[in-house]
Amino acid sequence: MSRRHFTLGCVVTTTLLSLAIATPAAATATTLADVDYAALGDSYSSGVGAPGQTGSCLRSPYGYAALWAARNNPTSFTNLTCGGAVTGDVLSRQVPQLPSGADLISITIGGNDAGFAPTVLTCQFASDAECQRTVAEAETDIGATLGGKLDNTYAAIKRKAPDAQVIVLGYPLLFDTASASCGAGMSLAKRRALNHGAQVLNDLIKARVEAAGLTFSDVRDEFAGHGICASGAYLNGLTILPPQNSFHPNRNGYTYGYLPAMIDALG
């Protein structure tokens, strides 16, 4: 997905972890005091949508990766996340910088490959029928091409850091569907279509993660009842300033959605 599309918005808790981190059988047991943590992935890992974004990758101290590191004080924290990243960016730019001795790795990836940013934007301004056609086309592309890209990405991470526990987090369903209205442009039919597309994306990611022998963390439960237009939403709707915040988690989404999902995955 192009950076131009990313600037419009990408698609696609507080409990401290006090127990030892469970690692694959090949790794030795570790505790938080000696964990080397690395974060990979796209804008949902860099913290786009939350305050304090800096640099060309738009990393925020309120993204879930930065929050986890700040609260658990691992031995090292390598933040390689970057807003707008696709699987090819993880392979060419992030994995080469990944410490081979990392014990814990987290990542969100696949939303930009799936082209969900332009899909959501099309739905914002199109008719219900056009939105549904666009989502259906995106779902077809996801099934045809994304699986192989994810397989290659996960394999590269495992080769570079073979003893790390790798947690792959999914994406939330963006929209609340409990109410009939959700502002201009987002009918109930559109919201349901887009949520279905996100479901298809998450199901594929989960399947490829399990095939790779990694850990999948589904964030949909944490975000349930907190979609765009819900009371207490964990996600930003269409945002004019700054535009990249559109359809990304807000500060509460990272704190009470993604962070607990990561903690739960660690057991």
Mean per-residue pLDDT, 101-126: 95
Kindly report which listed range (10-14, 135-139, 213-217) carries the lowest average pLDDT score. Answer: 10-14
The pLDDT assigned to 167 comes to 98
Domains recognised in the chain with CATH numbers: 31-115+146-175+202-266 (3.40.50.1110)
Q: Check whether 11 has a pLDDT greater than 90.
A: no
The pLDDT assigned to 33 comes to 65
| Pairwise pLDDT comparison (26 vs 145), residue with the higher score | 145
Q: Check whether 248 has a pLDDT greater than 80.
A: yes
Catalytic member of 46, 60, 217, 248: 248
Q: Check whether 99 has a pLDDT greater than 70.
A: yes
Q: What's the angle, vertex CA 250, arms to CA 151 and CA 22, rounded to 5?
A: 45
Note if 43 is an active site residue.
yes
Q: Check whether 146 has a pLDDT greater than 80.
A: yes
Mean per-residue pLDDT, 40-57: 98
Q: Give the global pTM.
A: 0.88
The pLDDT assigned to 180 comes to 85
Contact, 46 vs 82, CB < 8 A?
A: yes
The pLDDT assigned to 179 comes to 85
For residue 249, list its beta bridge partners: 235
User: In the chain, pLDDT over 90 holds for what percent of residues?
Assistant: 84
Contact, 248 vs 108, CB < 8 A?
A: no
Distance CA 12, CA 142 (A): 11
Note if 248 is an active site residue.
yes
Distance CA 231, CA 237 (A): 13
φ, ψ at 27 (rounded to 5°): -100, 155
Q: Check whether 264 has a pLDDT greater than 50.
A: yes
pLDDT, mean over the chain: 89
pLDDT band per the 50, 70, 90 thresholds, residue 7: very low
Please name the amino acid found at residue 75: T
Mean per-residue pLDDT, 38-49: 98
Q: DSSP label at 28?
A: P
Contact, 92 vs 80, CB < 8 A?
A: no
Contact, 93 vs 74, CB < 8 A?
A: no
The pLDDT assigned to 171 comes to 98
The pLDDT assigned to 21 comes to 32
Burial class (CB in 10 A: 0-12, 13-18, 19+), 31: exposed
DSSP class per residue in 98-114: S-TT-SEEEEE-STTTT
Catalytic member of 43, 60, 106, 246: 43
pLDDT in tens, 71-89: 999 999 999 999 999 999 9
Q: Check whether 13 has a pLDDT greater than 80.
A: no
Distance CA 20, CA 35 (A): 10
The pLDDT assigned to 267 comes to 87
φ, ψ at 249 (rounded to 5°): -60, 145
Phi-psi label, residue 116: left if phi above 0, alpha if psi -120 to 50, beta otherwise: alpha
pLDDT in tens, 177-200: 998 899 889 999 999 999 999 999
Q: Check whether 58 has a pLDDT greater than 50.
A: yes
Q: What's the angle, vertex CA 95, arms to CA 5 and CA 74, rounded to 5?
A: 105
pLDDT band per the 50, 70, 90 thresholds, residue 121: very high
SS3 of residue 176 by DSSP:
coil
Six-digit token string for 67 = 């929050």
